A and B are shown apart, each in its own frame.
Chain A
Amino acid sequence: NAGVTQTPKFQVLKTGQSMTLQCAQDMNHEYMSWYRQDPGMGLRLIHYSVGAGITDQGEVPNGYNVSRSTTEDFPLRLLSAAPSQTSVYFCASSYQGMSYNSPLHFGNGTRLTVT
């Protein structure tokens, strides 16, 4: 059981480039989400999904896209990277949606630098 797997671990982009952060879980969790972590600001929710084919915006969705074609995978796309998107990104999953009080399981993060 690998849990939540994020790739890559580190990435450097130039302003304007696009990329996809990968997230996969093998726990058959319905709920998946993406957070960004910035110093002094904790974890802020970008997008989340309550099941395959369903996604919704979180607190800070601008500049990011997501899709959920399978239960296992929840990629995060940066369409045109900006320096303000320099951050550590965490993917998390949960057995059920947040309305069921299920704890989140986190991956080990992707550290992204945009120059």
Chain B
Amino acid sequence: GENVEQHPSTLSVQEGDSAVIKCTYSDSASNYFPWYKQELGKGPQLIIDIRSNVGEKKDQRIAVTLNKTAKHFSLHITETQPEDSAVYFCAASIADMRFGAGTRLTVK
């Protein structure tokens, strides 16, 4: 089955700096790559997603890039704010959705 690896596991940035989280996937047939944000005591919430026919997508301060050849995709958050502090998960999907292990982002 699909295997998704996510790095780093923890990330600490100063307010206003950028944060980058990277994921790789194993199955070249995966065609949908969402990113979720999880706040304490809550379920994950979708923040942005990208499909395999698109290389980059942006939504205000959040952007995702996809390199199908290398089988990796990344989340970029610019001008970070304290409310961006949370755990972020990447995922890859074909028949079912598989998640990375998560990145705990702290904005100081």
Residues on A lying within 8 angstroms of B by beta carbon are 4, 33, 35, 40-45, 48, 58-59, 90, 92, 97-99, 101, 103-109
Contact = CB atoms under 8 A, between A and B. Distances in A.
A103 B98 contact: no
Contacts of A59: 1, 98
27 contacts: A33-B96, A33-B97, A40-B9, A40-B101, A41-B101, A42-B101, A43-B89, A44-B99, A45-B97, A45-B98, A59-B98, A90-B43, A92-B43, A98-B32, A98-B93, A99-B94, A99-B95, A101-B49, A101-B51, A103-B34, A104-B34, A104-B36, A104-B46, A105-B46, A106-B44, A107-B43, A108-B42
B43 A108 contact: yes
B46 A43 contact: no
Nearest to A4: B43
A104 B33 CA distance: 11
Contacts of B43: 4, 90, 92, 106-109
A101 B99 CA distance: 15
A33 to B, nearest CB: 7
